Structure 1
Amino acid sequence: MKVLMTSGTVDYLLKIKQKYPEANIQVMQNVTSGLAYYEGNNDEVFEEERIYETVDMVGEMQDEGFVVMNHIPVTDEGRPIFEDRFKNRSGKIEDMPGFQALRILRPEQRNTYIVLSQWADEDSFISWKNSLSFKEAHKQQDAKKQEKPSYSAGDSYVTQYHMVVGE
């Protein structure tokens, strides 16, 4: 499945959402910006978008919640390794209270993947980060903290958003 995202002010993004009510566009915001998120096949919902292909997905994106996006630059040669790692993950995140959805997104252009998780609220995400399940899922990563993974094409970074419920 294709995922399209575009940035802008929340007011602007809500107008796009109103223009395409059948598209199920979801709008989210953080302290500095707004983001519109769309899953589907309509390539005309945004004028300027970032396009991703879904590598793995669990759950349905909800109109309410808290979203965490881990942006991970991956080398061309490392794409299969990175994708295989997530396709064969332990799956413990799905059992956590407050979990709503997970998307592993491959960029159509550029090299930065997005691992998106959606939670009922920020407290649910914090509980996951402090859980034994999180520590187990990331123990291999912690063991090699000083050494970048073979697929790495640079430093990763995280963005967090709250969903905007608009009309």
Structure 2
Amino acid sequence: MNAYMTNGTYDFLRKLEEKYPDIPFYFMAGSSGTLAYYEGRHKNVFAAGRAYEVLEQGGDMRETGFVVMNNIPVTDDGTAMFEERFRQRKSELDSMPGFQAFRLLRPKKGNTYVVITQWASEANFNNWKDSDAFKNQHQHGLAKPPAFFADKPFITSYQMIKEEK
């Protein structure tokens, strides 16, 4: 399965639904503007978008909620190690209150993987960050970054935009 995303103004991105009625788009608002996201077997319809392969997934994306994207630049030599380490990591996400969806996305171009989590609310995400499960998964977060990081990871967050039909 593939995933695609692009940024733009909300008015411009909304027109994609009219042009491609068979694609279920998700619209999100964040500090950097509006983002359109979709996944499935469809082709990339974005002229200036980013394309990914979905490596791991859990839950279903929803039209409401809070989305956190952890953007992780990985070296070419480190991709296999990064992916294997991620697959071995036991996740307790799906048992956390408010959890909705998880995606691990491998870029089709470039080196920045994206880890998406979607929550019912920002409070649910913050509760996850404060949980023992999160601390156990990220216990090495304060140490030296793994050698496979090409650059410092960064996080973007969004609020889903629910369209009035």
2:149 corresponds to which residue?
A: 152
CA RMSD for the aligned pairs?
A: 1.2
Q: Contact conserved, 1:56 with 1:86, CA < 8 A, in 2?
A: no
Q: Which residue of 1 aligns with 2:50?
A: 50
Structure 1 window deviating more from structure 2 (68-77 vs 84-93): it is 84-93
Which position in structure 2 is the counterpart of 1:165?
162
Q: Distance in 2 between matches of 1:86 and 1:107?
A: 15
Question: Which residue of 1 is the match for residue 76 of structure 2?
Answer: 76
Query: Could you say what secondary structure the match of 2:42 adopts?
Result: coil
The correspondence of residues 5-154 of structure 1 with structure 2, limited to 5 A, is 5-142=5-142, 144=143, 147-154=144-151
Q: Separation in 1 of the partners of 2:77 and 2:93?
A: 28
Cα distance in 2 between the residues matched to 1:93 and 1:46:
31
The answer on whether the counterparts of 1:17 and 1:26 sit within 8 Å (CA) in structure 2 is no
Cα distance in 1 for partners of 2:115, 2:70 equals 5
- Unmatched runs of 5 consecutive residues or more in structure 1: none
Q: How many Å apart are 1:87 and its aligned residue?
A: 1.0
SS in 2 for 1:141: coil
Normalising by structure 2, what TM-score?
A: 0.95
Q: Specify whether residues 64 and 18 from structure 1 end up closer, same or farther in structure 2 by C-alpha distance, changes over 3 A only.
A: farther
- What secondary structure sits across from 2:83 in the alignment? helix
Contact 1:30–1:162 at 8 Å: present in 2 too? yes
Q: CA deviation at 1:89?
A: 1.4
**Cα contact 2:105–2:115 (8 A) shared by 1:** yes
Amino acid aligned to 1:163: M
| Displacement after TM superposition at 1:44 (Å) | 4.6
Secondary structure of 2:53's partner? strand
Distance across 2 between alignment mates of 1:79 and 1:101: 23
Is 69-78 or 85-94 further displaced after alignment?
85-94
**In 2: Cα distance, 1:63 partner to 1:18 partner:** 17
CA positional deviation for 1:140: 2.8
Residues of 2 paired with 1:104 and 1:28: CA distance? 18
State the aligned residue count: 164
